[in-house]
Amino acid sequence: MNFRNIFIAILFAFLSLGSAIAKDVKITVWAGGTNEADYYRMEAIKMAADILTREMAIQGEEINITVEGKRDFGGWGEFKQAVTLAAEDGSAPNIVVTSHLDIAPWSQAGYIVPVEDYLDMDAWPLNDIYDNLMEIAAYNGIQYGLPQDAESRPFFFWKEYLKGIGYSDSDIDALPSKVASGDYTLANVLEDAKKAVSMGLVEEGYGFYPRVSNGPDYAQFYQSFGGELMDSASGKLLLDKASMQEFYQFFADAVAAGVTKKNHIGTDWGQWYNEVANGKAAFWHGGTWHYARYTGKEGNDDFFGTIQFTLIPAGNDRGRANTITHPLVYLVTNQNDDDLQDIASQLVKIASEPRINSLHAIESAHLGISKQQSNVGLYANDQWAAEATEVLLGSANAQPNHLQYGVFSEAMWAGLESVWTGSKSAADAVNDLESELSSKLGDDLIVR
């Protein structure tokens, strides 16, 4: 053996030792619908990677995890296209943060793997997550994902205008409970909005200033009038014609009364945020995360002094005051590599620790996912998180994880649009909706 061979042997030994010392793993995270304030969706995974690396090192496994996050997608549509195309191509990110509604189609298509295949669901911190949120991240009885955050979608009132139409401070304070008990309904909203407009407090069209595009928010109004999205016994989607018609009619009435703009849909989001955060509108509805936007970018320094929030009021006797929570979930994608999927699952588990999740919750004004977060100082001391959790989360429900829910939701929105803009009557729109949904969903739909 000459020196050269010895040298090569040593080099080989060294290299193989090197690879044994630290196994490099790259984890990519894509987060949809993620604004500047939501950066902890990716940051939490980085923190989790640090903890996991240390844990594994103690167990004698050297691993080096690099986490890469991406959140700049044009919108939800572009994000979903990007994920599905990447998954078809075999280059999907390891972890995606997305709407829980994607679980049904993506699990069916085999793009994602169940986290329950890798995690002990009875152990900390998963056993502390709210059951209803865990259920939202499951489909067909399988736990596919973990809730990433919680939110809900309240109704907002500009306090000054409530006072302007004759509310006292104590009336305003009592509003959330009056809404919850059903004593203050959408009919009252319309009445008060009319007053605000006719008294000149707000401009015409700014009495009730709703969301400008389709979203889970509108299913809330369907529920306000007694509608249910899914028949729990059969698991089929449900079209309650009477409720749907009353829900459509409410928006038609709002337009007719001059409190809502006929061409409100499609208003620029930036303009919308700025107007509602600074008192241009009397009543509106939005999401718990709006708090961050109103008090941050839009410069409302006195949120609690200017804005009251409640559940979405009931519309009639059959309906209830409600709010929809539309949690985002962490999903682990199919990489055909058990080790990678295992690591990704461990990371989302660690990122769900109360302390780490609270960072996201408070920074982005979302709600927590687990009970113990009320014992984390950061979370407990935040007025918004505490109050919103108390007023809203108890009455929150979610949209169903159903393969055809997307079709249902789009058609419901198309019907609302046509009534809102006056191109159809509510009755006609509901009849058209029925024939549209019956043809498209067939056996997946119950009409009541």
Q: Minimal distance in Å, beta carbon 78 to another protein?
A: 10
Nearer to another protein, 104 or 292 (CB): 104
Nearer to another protein, 358 or 404 (CB): 404
Nearer to another protein, 113 or 175 (CB): 113
Count of other CB atoms within 10 angstroms of residue 182: 16
Q: Which two tokens stand for residue 298?
A: 């839009």
Q: Minimal distance in Å, beta carbon 409 to another protein?
A: 5
Q: Minimal distance in Å, beta carbon 410 to another protein?
A: 6
Residues that bind another protein (CB under 8 A): 76-77, 80-81, 84, 88, 99, 101-102, 104-106, 108-111, 116-123, 140-142, 204, 214-215, 235, 261-263, 265-266, 271, 342, 399, 403-407, 409-410, 413-414, 417-424, 432, 435-436, 439-440, 443
Nearer to another protein, 135 or 432 (CB): 432
Q: Minimal distance in Å, beta carbon 38 to another protein?
A: 19
Residue 145 half-sphere exposure, CB side, CA atoms within 13 Å?
31
Per the CB < 8 A criterion, the answer to whether 155 and 308 are in contact is: no
Name the DSSP class of 136: H
Residues in the chain: 448
C-alpha span between 349 and 357 (Å, rounded): 11
Q: Minimal distance in Å, beta carbon 341 to another protein?
A: 10
Residue 364 half-sphere exposure, CB side, CA atoms within 13 Å?
26
Q: Minimal distance in Å, beta carbon 404 to another protein?
A: 7
Q: Minimal distance in Å, beta carbon 321 to another protein?
A: 24
Q: Minimal distance in Å, beta carbon 102 to another protein?
A: 5
Nearer to another protein, 62 or 88 (CB): 88
Nearer to another protein, 76 or 303 (CB): 76
Per the CB < 8 A criterion, the answer to whether 214 and 413 are in contact is: yes
- Cross-strand bridge partners of residue 138: 143
Coil, strand, or helix at residue 386?
Answer: helix
Coil, strand, or helix at residue 319?
Answer: coil
C-alpha span between 243 and 186 (Å, rounded): 13
Nearer to another protein, 15 or 121 (CB): 121
Coil, strand, or helix at residue 260?
Answer: strand
Per the CB < 8 A criterion, the answer to whether 186 and 253 are in contact is: no
Nearest to 379 by CA among 408, 353, 405: 353
For residue 292, the Cα-to-chain-centroid distance in whole angstroms is: 15
Nearer to another protein, 53 or 84 (CB): 84
Give kind and range of the element (H or E) at residue 6.
helix 3-21
Nearer to another protein, 24 or 122 (CB): 122
C-alpha span between 102 and 89 (Å, rounded): 18
Q: Minimal distance in Å, beta carbon 249 to another protein?
A: 15
C-alpha span between 126 and 369 (Å, rounded): 10
